[in-house]
Amino acid sequence: MTSFLPDPYDRDCPTRQLLDRIGDQWTVLIVGTLGGGPLRFTEIGRRVQGISQKMLTQTLRALVRDGILERRMYAEIPPRVEYELTDLGRDLAEPLSMLAEWAKAHMGRVQEARESYDRAS
């Protein structure tokens, strides 16, 4: 077994693809909204405005596969399915919330920069 130092700058390193997944806007918003506790599929879709059913299904499945979310089915009639953060997911929630906070805090400066750029072009 060769030693392995993860390096997302290496195109063949799996961290590259992981980085793409965790930085995805849907991941940021879904993990963020599950920070308050487990939610059903429809409730997640209601909170993350504008996500399609297909994208929500795909993203949730990928996050469950990555060990970031857990899917729990309760044997009720009708069956209740909820998604919640795993320990790994809770650990990810912190850097992701920093990213969302950054976007909220600096949107004004970014918009000024864009207007200035567009005027100069």
Least distance to a second copy, CB of residue 73, Å: 14
Phi, psi of 49 (to 5 degrees): -55, 135
Q: Is 9 in the site for a second copy (CB under 8 A)?
A: yes
Closest Cα partner for 90 from 62, 65, 63, 69? 69
What are the structure tokens assigned to 33, written together? 């909204």
Instruction: List phi, psi (to 5°) of 63.
Output: -70, -35
Q: Mark residues 68-107: x for contact with a second copy by CB under 8 A, - for none.
A: x-------------------x--xx-xxx-xxx-xxx-xx
Q: Residue 25, interface with a second copy (CB under 8 A)?
A: yes
Give the nearest distance from C-beta 16 to a second copy in angstroms: 7
Query: For the purposes of burial, counting CB atoms within 10 Å of the CB of 56, is it exposed (0-12), middle (13-18) or buried (19 or more)?
Result: middle
**Residues of the shown chain interacting with a second copy in the complex, contacts defined by CB under 8 A:** 6-11, 14-16, 18-20, 22-25, 27-29, 33, 47-50, 64-68, 88, 91-92, 94-96, 98-100, 102-104, 106-107, 109-114, 116-118
